[in-house]
Amino acid sequence: MNSRYNARRRQLLAATAAAGVAAAAGAWTGSVRAQHQPAPLRIGYQKSSTLMILLKSRQTLEKALAPKGVAVQWYEFTSGLPLLEALNIGNLDLSADVADAVPPFALAAGADLTYYASETPSPQAQAIVVRGDSPLREVAQLKGQRVAFAKGAGAHYLVLEALARAGLSIRDIDPVYLSPADARAAFERGSVAAWAIWDPFLSAVQRQANARVLRDGDGLASYRRFYLAATPYARAHAEVLDVVFDALRDAGEWVKRNPAEAARWHAPLIGLDAATVEAANARRSYAVRTVDGAALAEQQRIADAFTAQQILPRKVAISGSPVWRKA
């Protein structure tokens, strides 16, 4: 009796031990798998990020990166500089497009960012406008006038370049630094003579308030949109950036091939009518390319202009920033 009991007890203990070893092995294997699971791709975007929002709505990146085991996480921001700040401190891996004036400010603050891609120039997508009944017909006539624009924005750079081309400087006008919403209100009630603004606000004020373009960016400011990556991520995950770049390029081509459909899709997301969005999209190139020398040279000109105006806290050397190249 005791011998049978002891034998069964030994069998039970052996089985229990084996089960424990198996469980431990399974737990260890799961732990190893968790350690080797690729980190998610964290993308920051704004409501103006047409191409990234298109990819998000279609889950294009989720599908394309699934074979690599890479999940995608999306984070919305209200403006470009906080987005790049989040990128710099490691809370994001990739930014959707930001306006050309934004990267120099992030770099001046010491951000470690990589220029990842850009859209080719869209100089008519920002302009200095006046009211339809304004007597002003050329930039030189802005002398002594109140001109509204967002301080440190691409429109600010456009004003500086337009004034210089007309033989004037910022000291020859009365600059009024306002957000787009406040600037439009001031523009419509006549408390400023002109307003420098970008699309889709530009298309909206043209269609809804009969604004007239005094000078756009053609020959002055290219208005490229830049995509940036956290430098450590760009160095470690080139294969992921390849996938995202191809998807962005395809999305840009789709928007240009299907302007009406693209506008109907995007309009409700930004609170504008489809016709206004389509007019704005017509002035944007949406042609995604790797960042070239011409783009970097203009980034340097923007940085230098803002440094001269003491808007940037220090001189920025754009050439010191990494630039991603497609494999």
Residue 140 CA, distance from chain mean position: 33
Query: Would you state the pLDDT for residue 48?
Result: 87
> Are residue 178 and residue 97 in the same domain, yes or no?
no
> Are residue 235 and residue 315 in the same domain, yes or no?
yes
Last residue of a domain, one of 216, 238, 265: 216
Least confident of 36-50, 64-78, 110-124, 291-305: 36-50
> Are residue 105 and residue 253 in the same domain, yes or no?
yes
Residues 6 or more apart in contact with residue 274 via CB below 8 angstroms: 260, 263, 264, 267
CA 81 vs CA 62, 88, 160, 181, 200: distances in Å:
26, 11, 21, 18, 19
Residue 182 domain flag: yes
Kindly report, residue by residue over 245-267, the tens digit of the pLDDT.
999 999 999 999 999 999 999 99
> Are residue 88 and residue 229 in the same domain, yes or no?
yes
Query: What is the domain count for the chain?
Result: 2
Q: Which tokens hold the place of 247?
A: 């998807």
> Are residue 209 and residue 266 in the same domain, yes or no?
no
DSSP state for residue 94 in the 8-state scheme: E
Domain that holds residue 265: 41-121+224-320
Torsion sign across C-alpha atoms 147, 150, 152, 155: negative
> Are residue 249 and residue 193 in the same domain, yes or no?
no
CATH code of the domain in which 72 resides: 3.40.190.10
Q: Which tokens hold the place of 203?
A: 């298309």
Last residue of a domain, one of 194, 216, 238: 216
Kindly report, residue by residue over 78-103, the tens digit of the pLDDT.
989 999 999 999 999 999 999 999 99
In this structure, the number of other CB atoms found within 10 A of the CB of residue 247 comes to 21
Last residue of a domain, one of 152, 182, 216: 216
Kindly report, residue by residue over 199-230, the tens digit of the pLDDT.
999 999 999 999 999 999 999 999 999 999 99
Residue 21 domain flag: no
45 burial type by CB count under 10 A (0-12 exposed, 13-18 middle, 19+ buried): buried
> Are residue 211 and residue 247 in the same domain, yes or no?
no
pTM score, two decimals? 0.86
> Are residue 146 and residue 264 in the same domain, yes or no?
no
CA 315 vs CA 34, 218, 302: distances in Å:
44, 26, 11
> Are residue 234 and residue 263 in the same domain, yes or no?
yes
